[in-house]
Amino acid sequence: MRRTTWSLHSRLSWMIAGMLALVLMPLGIYSFKRTVGEVAELSDGRLAQAARTQDTLADFSLRPADHTGAPILIPTRAVEPTRKPPRKTYETEVGFQWFDPAGKLQVATDNMAGLALPAPQVTGYQNIWLDHYRWRIFNLQRSGQRGWIRVAERYDSRHTILRALWFDHSMPLLFGLPLLAVLVGWAVRRGLRPLDQLTRSLQQRTPGSREPMPHMPLPAELQPVIDALDDMLERLDGALERERHFSADVAHELRTPLAATTLHLENAMQTRDPAWLRGSLASAHHALNALSRRVEQLLALARLESGVATAVHVPVNLTAVTKDVLDEFGPLLLESGIDVSFHHPGRDLLIDGYEAAINALIRNLVENAMRHTPVGGEVQLRLDTQAGSPQLEVIDSGPGIPAHLRERMFERFERVPGQHQDGLGLGLSLVRRAAQMHGASIDLLDRPEGSGLRVRVRFPPPSSCQAGD
């Protein structure tokens, strides 16, 4: 049994979850960085806006320092005392300073009271350390050299905002991705349910069954799998059918050369004449050679039928193959008492095909004709062309086949009822298969003169060769 290393469900679940993480995490990081940048710009803008607002307010509210000359300090507080429990306040994290044109501090928050006046060349944004804290400062020189306004914010407040943003961005990923993985697993399991149905259907099939898969509602992605299974089962059934046909063909085809060999050996055993003995042994040797050729032809025909052979159609001399078959049947023809004649146009007739299949076709037609023709009867073989198409006819003087039974005779093991002849009913089946391989038509007709059967095989005109002279 093949060991399962991974399941399709796990593979799809991990792949989808991984792709989601691969997409969402960079998007989250990118969004976080963009948000941090926007917050920093917004905070800097707030500082600049606060400085300019105070510049405008200073024209109306700024008064000289008190009589002691000390600047006015605005207190800040860390928490709201009236609130229980106290909540965080950002008052200590922001501050400002106002300086007069002489550089004297006029108004400031107490958390920035000790910060000196900036240098004249320092304007705009600035980062400084004050009381162990890092501050972001915006320095504004008032128009007309009327003094300085400085607005500051501790980076603590910005870091708090960043931590909140990081929490808001990471929590959906930390909790959402596992939840997505669970939901993806459930969805994949639901999506793969047709595979479970297909598995159960295959497990319920009878061992050895080659029937097509039953129709069931399946997604479009599984239909090619079902089609491939049906095609495989059909090809398997065809291969097994060819095996059965081949076994039957072997038994049918080898009977004639084995019978001829046995006959010659029996004659050799019974005679005391050395010349007759040598002749019988030579005939037996010839029959055994024919048996060897027959086996090779059967194997070649089986390969051609199964599509294993790589040979293509080649020119086949129909006249020469017919003569070879008649020579092979020579000893049996002498013993049969049947008059066999061969009529041909005196030239080679070429067709495109497989010589092994043509040999089997002609041999089976001759053998069937001899089997059904009584002693003293006649068997004719005729070769000619009709409208450029080579045509073979085998005519016997036997009982013939009724018209309504002729089509059935091409089926395997079919025999004419009431005719007690040797044979298994395979000859015409093999003839038709060989004819189909060449695109030839085959007809069973009445004998023109009296009773008997006329078998006509008409081949298509040769494409790669012409009839020889």
> At residue 131, does pLDDT exceed 50?
yes
Spatial separation of the C-alpha atoms in residues 110 and 146, rounded to whole Å: 23
Least confident of 294-308, 392-406, 454-468: 294-308
Spatial separation of the C-alpha atoms in residues 111 and 99, rounded to whole Å: 16
Task: Sketch the domain layout of the chain as residue ranges.
Answer: 8-176, 222-310, 312-469
CA 181 to chain centroid? 28
**Do residues 107 and 72 touch, judged by C-beta distance below 8 A?**
yes
pLDDT for 419 equals: 62
Spatial separation of the C-alpha atoms in residues 275 and 278, rounded to whole Å: 5
CATH topology assigned to domain 312-469: Heat Shock Protein 90 (3.30.565)
**Do residues 355 and 322 touch, judged by C-beta distance below 8 A?**
no
Instruction: Please return the burial class of 236, using the count of CB atoms within 10 Å of its CB with bins 0-12, 13-18 and 19+.
Output: exposed
CATH topology assigned to domain 8-176: Beta-Lactamase (3.30.450)
pLDDT for 442 equals: 93
The residue written with tokens 């390969």 in the block is 303
Give 454's strand partners.
Answer: 395, 445
Q: Any idea how long the chain is?
A: 469
Kindly indicate the confidence band of residue 405, based on its pLDDT and cuts at 50, 70 and 90: confident
Spatial separation of the C-alpha atoms in residues 433 and 321, rounded to whole Å: 18
> At residue 128, does pLDDT exceed 50?
yes
Show the tokens assigned to 193: 């349910």
Q: pTM higher than 0.85, yes or no?
A: no
pLDDT digits (tens, 9 = 90+) for 282-337: 888 877 877 776 676 566 556 656 654 445 678 999 999 999 999 888 877 888 88
User: Based on C-alpha coordinates, what's the Rg of the chain?
Assistant: 53
Measured from the Cβ of residue 345, the count of other Cβ atoms closer than 10 Å reads: 13
> At residue 454, does pLDDT exceed 80?
yes
Query: What's the CATH number for 222-310?
Result: 1.10.287.130
